[in-house]
Amino acid sequence: MKECIIQTQDLVHTYPTGVTALKGVNLSIYRNDKISIIGQNGSGKTTIVRHFNGLLKPTSGKVLLYGTDTTQQKVGEMSRKVGYVFQNPSHQMFCTTVKDELEAAPKNFGFTAQETKDAVEEVVELMNIKDVLNVHPLTLDYTTKKIVTIASVLTFKPDVLILDEPTGGLDEAGRVMLTNIIEMMHRNGHTVIMISHDMDYVAENSDRIIVMCEGEIIDDGVPEDIFLNAPVLQRAQLEPPQITQLDLYLENGNQSRAILSVKDFVDKYKQNIN
C-alpha cells in the first residue's frame, strides 16, 4: 500500500478579502503519485497546493504533511520536502545571476559548499543551462526563466514537486524537457503535482487527475475515466484533450476509456482496421 504523504481534512481557506477559496476539501496524496489538478481560474487549485508546504494556513480543517499538522511545522522545513515552482518565474527570482539563483536554495537549506556545488552542477547538466549561468535571471526569455526556476527547486531534490502551470509560455523544447523531468522525478520515487489548464499535456503526463470547481473537489480518478465524465467536465467548464474529443465523435461517446494521446488513437484505429 502506498504511503500517504499529504492529507487535507475538511480544509477551508478564506482570504482576508473574504473570498472562500476552499470549502471543506478532503484529499490524500500518496508517494510517487503523478497528479494533475485541473479547474477554472478561481476553482482553488493554487490555494490548495499552497497549503502543502505551509505557504497558506487553513482557516479551518487540517493539512497533514507526513502525518504532522502543517501548522506545527516550519515553512522552511516543509519547503525542503515540498518544492514549489511558481506559475510566474519572476516571483521566484531574487539573485543577480542564474548561478547565484541556483545556489540560493541549497545554501538556505544548509547544504555544505561541496553539496551545493554538486547539486548545481547536476541540474545545470540536466537542464542544459550552462550558457546562462552568469546572466541576470530577469533578462532571460520566458522559457529559460521557467527552466531556471524549475532547476532552482530541483537542486534540493524535494520529495514532492509542485509545478504551477508549468507549460504556460514554454516552447516545444521546453515542454519536452519538462516531460523528461517529470518522468525522471516519478521514476526516482518522487511525487509530482501539476496544476494546469493544458488538457493535452495533463492527459499524457498524469496518472491521476483531480478536478476542482468553486473550492471543491468534484472528481478524482485516472485520466481515462475523468475525460469521459461529461457532467463533471461541463460543471468545471473544461474540455477533454482534442484527441479525446476526436475519438468521442468517431465512437459517438460509446467508449469505456478515453484516448489520451495521438499514439493511443493511432494504435486503436490501426487495430480496428486490422
Partner 1 sequence: MGMRTIDSSKGKMRTTYMAILIPLGIAINFVGGQIASRLALPLFLDSIGTAIVAAIMGPFVGAVSGVGFNIISSIIGGNILSSLFGICNIATAFIVGFMTRAGKFKTVVHAIIATVAVALANALLGAPIAVVVYGGIQGGGVDLLVAGMLSLGRDILSAAFLARVPINLVDKGIAVFAAWLILMRLPDSLKNLAGGKKKIEEEQEEESN
Contact pattern from residue 15 through residue 54 relative to partner 1, giving x for each residue in contact according to CB under 8 A and a dash for the rest: xxx--------------------------------x--xx
Give the C-alpha distances (Å, rounded to integers) separating 198 from 89, 132, 164, 236, 256: 18, 28, 11, 14, 23
* 92 binds partner 1 per the rule CB under 8 A: yes
- Our CB check for partner 1 shows the closer of 138 and 173 to be 138
Which residues are within 8 A (CB) of 85 and not within 5 positions of it... i.e. 6 or more apart? Answer: 92, 149, 150, 153, 161, 162, 163, 164, 166
Contact pattern from residue 138 through residue 177 relative to partner 1, giving x for each residue in contact according to CB under 8 A and a dash for the rest: --------------xx--x---------------------
Residue 4 exposed, middle or buried by CB count within 10 Å (0-12, 13-18, 19+):
middle
CB of 216 to partner 1, least distance (A): 21
Q: Give the span between the Cα atoms of 72 and 31, in whole angstroms.
A: 22
DSSP string, 109-121: TT--HHHHHHHHH
Q: Which stretch binds partner 1 (CB under 8 A): 13-21, 114-122, 138-146, 253-261?
A: 13-21
- Our CB check for partner 1 shows the closer of 153 and 228 to be 153
Q: In the block, which residue shows the cell 478561481?
A: 42
Q: Which stretch binds partner 1 (CB under 8 A): 29-37, 61-69, 84-92, 198-206?
A: 84-92
Going by C-alpha positions, the residue among 141, 201, 155 that lies closest to residue 177 is 201
Contacts with partner 1, residue ranges (CB under 8 A) = 15-17, 50, 53-57, 74-76, 79-80, 83-84, 86, 88, 91-94, 104-105, 107-109, 152-153, 156
